[in-house]
Structure 1
Amino acid sequence: MAFASMSHPYWCIHLQAILIFCITLLWLQYTRVASASGNDTDYLALLKFQESISSDPYHVMSSWNASNHFCNWHGITCSHKHQRVTGLKLRGYGLRGVVSPHLGNLSFLRNLNLDNNSFYGEIPAELGRLFRLQNLTVRNNTLKGDIPINLTRCTEMRQLVLSSNSLTGKIPLEIGSLNKLERLSLFTNKLTGQIPASVWNLTSLLFLTVGFNNFEGSIPEEIGHLKNLSFLSIDGNKFFGELPSSLYNLSSLTVISVASNQLIHGTLPNNLFSNLPNLQVLNLDGNQISGSIPTSITNASFLQTFDISDNYFVGKIPSLEKLKHLQWLNLAGNILGNNFNNDLDFIKSLKNCSELEVLGLANNNFGGVLPDSIANLSTQLVQLAIGGNNIYGTIPATLGKYTNLIALALGFNRLTGTIPASFGKLQKIQLLELGENQFSGEIPISLGNLSQLVELSIPKNNLEGKIPPIFGNWKYLLFLYLSVNNFTGDIPFQDLSVSPLSKLLNLSHNSFNGSLPVEVGALKNLGTMDISENYLFGEIPETIGECISLQNISVLEYLNISFNMLDGEVPTEGVFRNASAISVVGNNKLCGGISELHLKPCPIKLNQQSKHRHLKFSVIIICVAVCVSLLLSSILVIHWRRKENKTSSSTAPTIDQLSKVSYQNLHSATEGFSTINLIGYGSFGSVYKGRLESEDKIVAVKVLNLQKKGAHKSFISECNALKNCRHRNLVKVLTCCSSIDYKGQEFKALVFEYMSNGSLEEWLHMDAESLDHQPRTLGLDRRLNILYDVASALHYLHYECEQPVVHCDLKPSNILLDDDMVAYVSDFGLSRLISTFNGTSNKQNSTTGIKGTIGYAPPEYGIGSEISTQGDVYSFGILVLEMLTGRRPTEEMFKDGLNLHSYVKAAYPNNLWKIVDSVLLPMQVQEKTKSAMEEISIEEPILKHPNEEKAIHSLFGIGIACSVESPKERLNMMDVTRELNRIRNAFRSCE
């Protein structure tokens, strides 16, 4: 009966419910344990990571909230079984913050990808706890610090990608423990030292990219152990010696890129391409490799890029007809060819290279005529550079078929004939360089079709006739260089006025006539204009003043109108106020101008007086108004000073009466001198960022540490040095404070204009995170501008101040940079005023016994010599060498008689590229191969700037000449500024 009752449906239902309840209890217990030990840990780690993100411009983390399970959050991948985080991928979202060390708690994490964001700070060592981690990629951020040794504990690692950051230090020796590593990518950092020997034991390695660091040493034969290596990039370092022979036995290699190192001597083996049958990229640019091009290249059927530019290769070019996939062929800057007629015969073999985009043959020893086969190249051709050879004859009109050309450079040869009208078909061309040949005839009117033209350079030819009215079609033109020809007629300023011409207009040494039209005023942004050595006449139009309306931001810097037949009055405003910025010599009918031009005074014309009666009446009204304003201002100032003298505490009598601000104002402006607002240290105090409410202005407040010996004198010295000094490259003191703080202690401070880009020291040597977390690099153009700014400030202090000033402490930390990277000399706490009485120089010292900073102070100061302007020149010379080499004068290597000056002088002039800062070597990143492992990229040098090497060579010369031991043998700042201006003009003319 009991059994019968159990079979009743009612009991069955209850039994099922009991079973379900029990199972549920067991499941809840299990999930609680699992959650407590795993899921909660992952959840909390992700929340901590989220807290470390300070900026999320695309709101990609909006899904990271309690309404979603964390496995459903954007960028998160979880395992199906345990619901543990196995992947975190937030690539390319512009996230800003630090990499949270809590990520080290994601114990199931296999893939971590934070590429292309703005993460800063250091890579947390806690990531070394991720024993399952296979892929770590954080490239293109601003991470700093060393590579954590703990990362080498992640023995499952396949990909370690840390490129394009600001990492420092050396590669950990323990990296050899990552024996499963397939990809090691460290390019574009600040790493130093040698490649650890343990790297050559990573036999699973497929990709090794360490370019654009400061690695040194030789590449050992042990690289041959990497039997699976496919991709090798060590560009832009300081590797020396020969490439090891074992490298040529790695048949799996598809890319070898060793550009811009110090690899010397030796030749490439003739069977190189036979031993490396899969090679797609061979980039040897910018070394000192010699010998012939291996003949085995004739069978390199997979080769896409062959760049041996800027080496010492010689001989004849082999046939390249089998290189059907060739895209980039750059042989420029060698000694190839024999100046024979058949030197360019190999061009015929390029007929089958249907993918060719770049052909660089410039600056070699090629001779003969330009063969007709030049017209049989790929129609995909983008760059064609054959300048700097001994090629003669005419240009084949068939070159006009290359309608995809962006750059065509045929200058510095012996080409004759006319410029082909077919060039008008090159409608994508941006650079057309034909200078220093023997072209004749007129400029073809068809060139007006080149609507994308940025630079047209045809100087030093035999061109003639009038300039056709085509300039107005060039909407992007920045450079126009037509000097040293036989052009006649009017200069077509009407057409030029509608172009964006801003870098260079050089029409000098021609036969232009007529007068300057009023349309010249439309060239508001022009950087350099040279129309000298022509037959211009007439008055200079007043509208030329409009060309320099932006002079304060260095838009127009030099005007050369010398040796014409101009007449009339020279203006005294704008660029005409600065004699060093203009040249008007050789125009005998000019008059007026500033006294430094030494022109005769202009006669007074009665009809002119009557003609401008209304203008003069307006001027009188303005003058009266100004005088009244000045009178009222004077009365107010006198009243204010008398009142202040009665109420304020006395200060040293040598301090100029600067308008003062109260301690309370500065305390409020800096939030109580909070460490959050601390932005640096001066010679005698701390510098804070603050906002003056009365001015609604961000300022820098230098608070003197009065406990430090010499601080009082430093305060007085800085006030005296700056009280009458006004120059655009001197930091401007806004006000000062001499008062009592809230503790009853004496308080002194100076308030300066705030410089948002910090100091030059930070840009040269410190990590990007120091101010704005943005990558920081200074190209040659910016370094040149900064040096000119600093030199201009010293020139002013030494020669143009009411009382000459010697700075005494010039160094990168005392050079500040504003929003536009204009440089300002600061910190005059050690400066001296120089006055002369009866021919005797008298130095007014600021602080006894302190004469500058070690490494920057001249040697004569160390033996008790008096301060002088030549001491500043020495400091400037050391600054130049530091900016060019990237080395401080106080580095450990400079001992036992070796200093920065002698270090550079030993390499000058032939080996400068061994010591120049690698940042100054122009580079570009190019995709060269594809792989299943996301993006494989390589950075390789581009063709060097045409005038870059000359500029760097000249700058090194200035640095050496300024920093010689004997003060009498040093340059003076007048010579320095003149030479820097010449270098800048030459550099910009070829940018």
Structure 2
Amino acid sequence: MAPQPLPLSRLLLVIFLAAGSTTGTAESAGGEEVSILLELKNSFAIPPTNINQFSSWSPSAASPCNFSGVTCDAANSVSAINLAGLGISGAIPFSSICRLPSLTKLSLGSNNLSGELASDLRNCTNLQHLDLAFNSLSGEVPDLSPLSGLRILNLTQNSFSGKFPWNSLSNLIALESLSLGDNSYDPSPFPMEVTKLTNLYWLYLSVCNLHGKIPPEIGNLTGLIDLELADNFLSGEIPPNITNLHNLWQLELYNNSLTGNFPEGFGNLANLTFLDTSMNQLTGNLSELRLLNKLVSLQLFYNDFSGEVPPEFGNFKSLVNLSLYNNRLSGTLPPKLGSWSEFNYIDVSTNFFTGPIPPDMCRMGTMKKLLLLENQFSGEIPASYASCSSLTRFRINNNSLSGVVPVGIWALPNVNIIDLQINRFEGPITKEISMAGSLSQLYLANNQFSGDLPPEISEATALVTIDVSSNQLSGEIPTSIGKLKNLSSLYLDNNQLSGQIPDAIGSCSRLSSLSLFGNSLSGPIPASIGFLPSLNSLNLARNQLSGEIPVSFTSLKLSSLDLSNNRLAGKVPASLSIDAYNNSYAGNSGLCADHVSFLRQCSSPDGGGSSNLRTTLIVIVVVIALALAGSGLFIFIRRRRSASTGELRRLSPKDSWDLKSFRVLSFDEQEIINSIKRENIIGKGGSGDVYRVVLSSGTAVAVKHICNSTYVSDRRDGQSTIALLSGGKSSVRSREFDAEVRTLSSIRHLNIVKLFCSITSEDSSLLVYEYLPNGSLWDRLHSAAGKKLVALDWGTRYEIAVGAARGLEYLHHGCDRPVLHRDVKSSNILLDKDLRPRIADFGLAKILHSAPPAHRDATTQVLIPGTYGYIAPEYAYTWKVNEKSDVYSFGVVLMELVTGRMPVEKEYGEDKDIVRWVAGRIRSRESVMGLVDGRITAAAERERAVNVLRIAILCTAGIPAMRPSMRAVVYMLQEAAGTHCAAVAAVADGKQGPQIEPLVD
């Protein structure tokens, strides 16, 4: 029997009941999802500034669809959660999140989330979009194969480690965007599973510890728009199949070990807009790039390219940034280069370019940086740049340029560095320089500039450095120079200046280096110079200065002083009559000093004095000879006795000791020797035990005791200085002692520890230093005792950084010959009572001078110069160190100051240190700020810390030549005191490698 239709009344009742049943189910589901989301919220710590973002998350809500950051589907079920960038912290409760049955998108990026990725994530099987980037998630990434619907996966910049489950990607065939970079995975070859994900349009695998070659199968990913494989260990050639990626918009391969040429057909990548293959070992010419006319940014620096820049580059109408520095390129630059678009910067430094400077790169008025250093450019500066008011850096030093500098160059309002050194420029420095309101560094040395130094230069009040040495300037030094309150370095040497040194120069209160030698200056030395509080280096030699050395000079703490070849007369102040200034007074016949061998005596002995003196000397010599003979016999007997008993011989006042003083002393050797007792030891290490000695005057000094025996190692403060001992009983201790004495005895610098004297005997050596009561920087940052003290605020950390940098700058640039420290680390930066820094421990500095690796043998000790975590990477394959090795180590110290972390920590992963850890976490402004030590809380101070972090990254560049000099580091640190310097953007945009401008000195 056929079913009968329901009566209308019953049909309406059924429909009503069904609707009621459905509504009840939806309400029940909505309530459950509200509970799940509230569990999610309660698991997070939300910063007060963003708590209002969750005001709509109410327990009384019937549905979560009105919660901020939550999206629902047509059935009013949660389909997407977006809580990115809210600063939330805590672990992610996937056990709750994956109970949302319709969830397809989860975006929690750019927060402070931590913990591991729980295996519960595998239950979120409907996920299509998972973004956990820029957090602090750690541990191994679990098997992701159950998430077969994923189209977007972003795990960039966390702290993941271990072996990445590349095999699980085989099941994620729907993936369109894959970003796994900036993590500390175990080393692996390029994952072939990725080359099978043919739906990919975005692939980011930078800083993934990838090794080996890029497989030719990369050409299978024809849909790729973005391919980033930078900062890995990839080698071999760029595979020819990469030319199949016709949709490619961005290609980033920088900082690998790629070799060979650009493959044939590379120019067919017609959509390529951003290309960066810098910091590799690529060769050949650039002809394959001539058809890439959509390029906006081209970064090829630090390779081995040769040949000419294709003329087609002059027709690239979108080109904004061009970096070709440190290659072997030659020929002329295309005349129309950079003239079509809003050109930003060009850097072609350190090549072999010739011909004129292209005239129209600032045609649109947007150019900021013109960097053509160290080439063979010729001709004049194009007049067009005189009106390029956007310029901030104008550096064309070390070329063959000539002519008169266009007047407008001096008046550029935003330029902070004008560097025209080592060219053939002539004509005057014009008064228009008064309008250069942002100019901080003016380098004009080694040209043919003439005329006066204009008084209007004093209106450029931002000036920190003026170097116009080795020119043909004449006239007097303007008295207005005293208005430059920020001036740190003034070099006017080797000119034709005359007249007196203006007294007003003493108003330049920040002046640390003053060099006026090789002029025709006359008259007295102004006493005001002696009151300059920061003056470190003073050279007034080869002038016609007369009168006495001002008494005020006794308050100066100079590392370098030269007053030679003048017409000075009178008595040299006692504090300046020291061996360190042996050659500082030569050629001044009127000068005298008491008790100093290199100057005539101020007072002559009476008639019988000479005979009496000779008699006295003879008696002294006889007494000393007898004493030496007796003490030698005593030492021999005592050594025999000590050897037979096996006891450690203590220092004895009866030994024959030789004291050499390097400063005015208020104690004698006996007072020091009597205090070398076990209870006075304050430090132990391979380079010698250190004692704290309180003198009878109440002053404390530090004494390092070095026995002339075999060196093994130095392990202190959780660090290990590396020593390789190859046998034999060499006099390494003696060499170390001699090295430290030679290095420190002639140094006078506020930021280098003072050496008062050395006291030596046949088998023991003592070095007496100033005592610094606050220990080392390592102690204050990392030791348990240090952490119990008041935390170092950013202002103090910054001053420590600047002071230590100045000390190293002096060692590298202020001595007759550069002094390499070779063991720069935070435990060798000591702090005085006001927490001002002193560079210390120069024992390792000269060991390799005595026994370089090339001359080691069975009886020679070889010391690897440095300490784990601080050693520059190139030492592993060059066995050589230079100034840039110290710069690298100092960069590590800067990272310690900014992050509060140690150079080596377990969290960094195997074979990793703070340098790679920092590099692996810099991809956004939020992540950069997350690197700053949590004990630095003020927002402005955290900004300044980021500025210093950028400098640290420059210092720790993998290629030594990319690192700045210490002189440049000091300047950059001074510049970084502000909160808006360009350094912030350079780090925060995540392009710390290719965006860094070279600092060539």
Which TM-score applies when normalising by structure 1?
Answer: 0.60
| One of 231, 245, 252 as aligned partner of 1:250 | 245
| One of 327, 344, 356 as aligned partner of 1:357 | 344
The alpha-carbon distance between structure 1 residues 197 and 314, as it changes in their structure 2 partners (threshold 3 A), is same
What is the aligned partner in structure 2 of residue 42 from structure 1?
A: 37
Alpha-carbon deviations, 1:215-248, whole Å to 9, x = none?
3322111211212111112223322111011111
Distance 1:218 1:187 in 2: 17
What is the aligned partner in structure 2 of residue 640 from structure 1?
A: none
Question: 1:207 Cα shift?
Answer: 1.5
Alpha-carbon deviations, 1:235-267, whole Å to 9, x = none?
233221110111111111111121222212334
What is the aligned partner in structure 1 of residue 455 from structure 2?
A: 469
The alpha-carbon distance between structure 1 residues 230 and 510, as it changes in their structure 2 partners (threshold 3 A), is same
What is the aligned partner in structure 2 of residue 368 from structure 1?
A: 355
Maintained 8 Å contact 1:94/1:116:
yes
Maintained 8 Å contact 1:125/1:151:
no
- AA paired with 1:305? S
Question: 1:436 Cα shift?
Answer: 0.7
Distance 1:949 1:327 in 2: 25
- AA paired with 2:879? K
Distance 1:773 1:214 in 2: 35
Alpha-carbon deviations, 1:556-578, whole Å to 9, x = none?
65444444455533568898335
Maintained 8 Å contact 2:43/2:91:
no
- AA paired with 1:589? L
Question: 1:486 Cα shift?
Answer: 1.7
- AA paired with 2:446? K
Distance 1:394 1:811 in 2: 44
| One of 485, 505, 527 as aligned partner of 2:490 | 505
Distance 1:817 1:118 in 2: 34
Query: Is the counterpart of residue 885 in structure 1 residue 873 in structure 2?
Result: yes
The alpha-carbon distance between structure 1 residues 322 and 725, as it changes in their structure 2 partners (threshold 3 A), is same
| One of 313, 326, 329 as aligned partner of 2:322 | 329
Maintained 8 Å contact 2:131/2:153:
yes
Secondary structure of residue in 1 paired with 2:867: helix
| One of 131, 135, 147 as aligned partner of 2:129 | 135
| One of 226, 233, 236 as aligned partner of 1:238 | 233
Maintained 8 Å contact 2:155/2:180:
yes
Maintained 8 Å contact 2:343/2:361:
no
How many residues are matched? 720
Distance 1:482 1:366 in 2: 26
What is the aligned partner in structure 1 of residue 899 from structure 2?
A: none
| One of 549, 554, 568 as aligned partner of 1:569 | 549
Secondary structure of residue in 2 paired with 1:208: strand
What is the aligned partner in structure 2 of residue 161 from structure 1?
A: 154
What is the aligned partner in structure 2 of residue 633 from structure 1?
A: none
Secondary structure of residue in 2 paired with 1:41: helix
The alpha-carbon distance between structure 1 residues 26 and 241, as it changes in their structure 2 partners (threshold 3 A), is closer
**For residues 621-640 of structure 1, what are the structure 2 equivalents within 5 Å?**
none
What is the aligned partner in structure 2 of residue 184 from structure 1?
A: 178
Secondary structure of residue in 2 paired with 1:448: helix
Distance 2:413 2:36 in 1: 62
Distance 1:333 1:825 in 2: 33
Question: 1:438 Cα shift?
Answer: 0.7
The alpha-carbon distance between structure 1 residues 314 and 123, as it changes in their structure 2 partners (threshold 3 A), is same
- AA paired with 2:294? F
Secondary structure of residue in 1 paired with 2:455: coil
Which TM-score applies when normalising by structure 2?
Answer: 0.60
The alpha-carbon distance between structure 1 residues 756 and 350, as it changes in their structure 2 partners (threshold 3 A), is same
Secondary structure of residue in 2 paired with 1:252: coil
The alpha-carbon distance between structure 1 residues 183 and 541, as it changes in their structure 2 partners (threshold 3 A), is farther
- AA paired with 1:354? S
The alpha-carbon distance between structure 1 residues 287 and 461, as it changes in their structure 2 partners (threshold 3 A), is same
Query: Is the counterpart of residue 874 in structure 1 residue 840 in structure 2?
Result: no
**For residues 908-919 of structure 1, what are the structure 2 equivalents within 5 Å?**
none
What is the aligned partner in structure 2 of residue 414 from structure 1?
A: 400
What is the aligned partner in structure 1 of residue 705 from structure 2?
A: none
Query: Is the counterpart of residue 519 in structure 1 residue 504 in structure 2?
Result: yes
Distance 2:71 2:243 in 1: 44
Maintained 8 Å contact 1:89/1:114:
yes
Maintained 8 Å contact 1:45/1:106:
no
Question: 1:420 Cα shift?
Answer: 1.2
The alpha-carbon distance between structure 1 residues 170 and 472, as it changes in their structure 2 partners (threshold 3 A), is farther
Question: 1:419 Cα shift?
Answer: 1.0
What is the aligned partner in structure 2 of residue 89 from structure 1?
A: 82
- AA paired with 2:774? K
Distance 1:459 1:158 in 2: 59
Query: Is the counterpart of residue 289 in structure 1 residue 282 in structure 2?
Result: yes
What is the aligned partner in structure 1 of residue 704 from structure 2?
A: none
Percent identical pairs in the alignment equals: 21
Deviates more, 1:232-241 or 1:539-548: 539-548
- AA paired with 1:388? E
Alpha-carbon deviations, 1:775-815, whole Å to 9, x = none?
xx99xx999849949999xx9xxxxxxxxxxxxx9996956
Question: 1:821 Cα shift?
Answer: 11
The alpha-carbon distance between structure 1 residues 457 and 213, as it changes in their structure 2 partners (threshold 3 A), is farther
Distance 2:781 2:262 in 1: 47
Alpha-carbon deviations, 1:71-124, whole Å to 9, x = none?
378643042566554333333344455545556445344333334344445455
The alpha-carbon distance between structure 1 residues 147 and 75, as it changes in their structure 2 partners (threshold 3 A), is farther
- AA paired with 1:576? L
Question: 1:442 Cα shift?
Answer: 0.9
The alpha-carbon distance between structure 1 residues 786 and 463, as it changes in their structure 2 partners (threshold 3 A), is closer
Maintained 8 Å contact 1:516/1:541:
yes
Alpha-carbon deviations, 1:151-195, whole Å to 9, x = none?
454333232333344444443323423322222234444445233
The alpha-carbon distance between structure 1 residues 43 and 393, as it changes in their structure 2 partners (threshold 3 A), is closer
What is the aligned partner in structure 1 of residue 368 from structure 2?
A: 382
**For residues 224-235 of structure 1, what are the structure 2 equivalents within 5 Å?**
224-235=219-230
The alpha-carbon distance between structure 1 residues 348 and 652, as it changes in their structure 2 partners (threshold 3 A), is closer
What is the aligned partner in structure 1 of residue 301 from structure 2?
A: 309
Maintained 8 Å contact 1:39/1:84:
no
- AA paired with 1:506? Y
Distance 2:769 2:192 in 1: 58
What is the aligned partner in structure 2 of residue 530 from structure 1?
A: 515
Maintained 8 Å contact 1:237/1:918:
no
What is the aligned partner in structure 2 of residue 347 from structure 1?
A: 335
Query: Is the counterpart of residue 110 in structure 1 residue 104 in structure 2?
Result: yes
What is the aligned partner in structure 1 of residue 475 from structure 2?
A: 489
Distance 2:952 2:829 in 1: 29
Maintained 8 Å contact 1:235/1:258:
yes
Gapped regions of structure 1 (runs ≥ 5): 1-11, 550-555, 604-650, 660-679, 685-720, 734-751, 763-770, 796-808, 832-857, 887-900, 928-941, 957-979
Maintained 8 Å contact 1:49/1:100:
no
What is the aligned partner in structure 2 of residue 197 from structure 1?
A: 192
**For residues 742-761 of structure 1, what are the structure 2 equivalents within 5 Å?**
757-758=781-782
The alpha-carbon distance between structure 1 residues 190 and 417, as it changes in their structure 2 partners (threshold 3 A), is same
Secondary structure of residue in 2 paired with 1:229: coil
Distance 2:824 2:430 in 1: 53
Question: 1:330 Cα shift?
Answer: 2.8
Distance 1:731 1:212 in 2: 42
What is the aligned partner in structure 1 of residue 138 from structure 2?
A: 145
What is the aligned partner in structure 2 of residue 589 from structure 1?
A: 568
Distance 2:240 2:41 in 1: 49
The alpha-carbon distance between structure 1 residues 813 and 358, as it changes in their structure 2 partners (threshold 3 A), is closer
Gapped regions of structure 2 (runs ≥ 5): 1-8, 586-590, 595-677, 683-690, 695-714, 720-763, 816-821, 844-851, 889-911, 926-949, 974-998
